[in-house]
Amino acid sequence: MKRIAFACDHAAFEVRNAIIEMLQSKGFEVLDFGTDGKDSVDYPDHVHPFAQAIVHKEAHAGILVCGSGNGVAMTANKYQDIRAALCWNTELASLARLHNDANVIALPARFVSQAEILDMIQVFLETEFEGGRHARRVGKIACS
């Protein structure tokens, strides 16, 4: 069974259960790093352990959701082995995997619907990295 990491803040709490249920229905084991309520939280407190799970290969990919998607993406991208892509439609979710080999999708709960979020996650998970000229470019992303 493939493991996928998940974390969100209070702004995404409304879509949290739908995301986890969808992932589980597709056979994923979900490593849930919260939040588990509507009370205001600091997203880095949830993203750092999420990112560690991916860096230590406890999960093969991850999904992050906050109000804008920006804060969680910025935090995750501080980790050398994470390529988090902020997406707001399915085309970007596809390209994030196809061209950038993103291993984390970051989603803006306040700007897209639950249905759009679920669609983007599905596209992200089903799209394979194209490689080729994109592999060369992705290889130049990391700082030494």
The type of residue at 74 is M
Token pair of 16 as six digits: 């949290």
Strand spans (E) along 33-92: 61-66, 84-86
Burial class from Cβ neighbours inside 10 Å (0-12, 13-18, 19+) for residue 47 reads buried
Residues that are catalytic: 99
